[in-house]
Amino acid sequence: MTSRHRSRHAAAEAPARPSPAQLQAARRKRVPDVIGPRLAILFVGINPGLYSGAVGHHFARPGNRFWPALQRSGLTPRQLAPHEERALLTYGIGITNLVPRTTAAAAELSKSELAAGGRRLVAKVHVLKPHVLAFLGIEAYRTAFGAKHVKIGPQPESIGTTQLWVLPNPSGLNAHYQLSDFARLFRRLSMARNSVRG
């Protein structure tokens, strides 16, 4: 199959843009983890937005910088679409969420939900043992783990043998960081992954 045919095939599988009614109905949905054995990097989103819940894929809302940042940083050889998320496992990359329930905004999550999500995440990491856990959202990380002094990048703490990284939330609503910033930060993460692989 040629690259042109693959592109057409991928485009044909892309879910349609959800209607307002479908977005509201997505409050009852969850987005399955993209996980597997021997992960180099496990990305952790805060929780799925309504758009992701409606289409059933992570970081799916147009304007989210996650997918282009992966490609620009070299973590993936091309820009994957959200509905191609299972292909990430080919590159040793997975995705999970701190809190599984969908909301219109992460601000709808309570502190107790975030803390409970942190405990579930630690248990999940002990089972999966990824080389690096990359948390996408500094304020949610602080709340989930009671960490007051957190800087973007690698953290001094670890979960077993898993290194911890904290990165900004790639949502298009996060105006403090541009796509070039995410590409630079993801590139640092890619270099850390390569050094771990040795």
Q: Mean pLDDT across the chain, nearest whole number? A: 90
pLDDT of residue 175: 81
As a whole number of angstroms, the distance between CA 173 and CA 15 comes to 22
Q: Is the pTM of this model over 0.85?
A: yes
How confident is the model at residue 28, as a pLDDT? 77
Q: Helix axis angle, 66-73 relative to 179-197, nearest 10°?
A: 50
Angstrom distance (rounded) from CA 66 to CA 186: 9
What's the CATH fold of domain 3-197? Uracil-DNA Glycosylase, subunit E (3.40.470)
pLDDT digits (tens, 9 = 90+) for 28-84: 789 999 999 999 999 999 999 999 999 999 999 999 999 999 999 999 999 999 999
Task: Please state the domain extents for the chain.
Answer: 3-197
- Percentage above 70 pLDDT, the chain: 91
DSSP-based helix, strand, coil % in the chain, nearest 5:
45, 15, 40
92-129 CB burial, b ≥16 within 10 A, e <16: bbbbbbbbbbbbeebeebeeebbeebbeebeebbeebe
| Helix residue ranges, H only, the chain | 3-13, 20-25, 50-55, 66-73, 111-128, 138-145, 179-197
Structure confidence by residue, pLDDT tens digits, 167-188: 999 998 888 899 999 999 999 9
Cα 76 to Cα 25: distance, rounded to the nearest angstrom = 32
As beta bridge partners, residue 165 has 134, 154
* Residue 164: closest CA among 128, 195, 141, 132: 132
The whole-angstrom separation of Cα 89 and Cα 94 is 6
Contact 15, 83 (CB under 8 A): yes
Tokens of 28: 């009852």
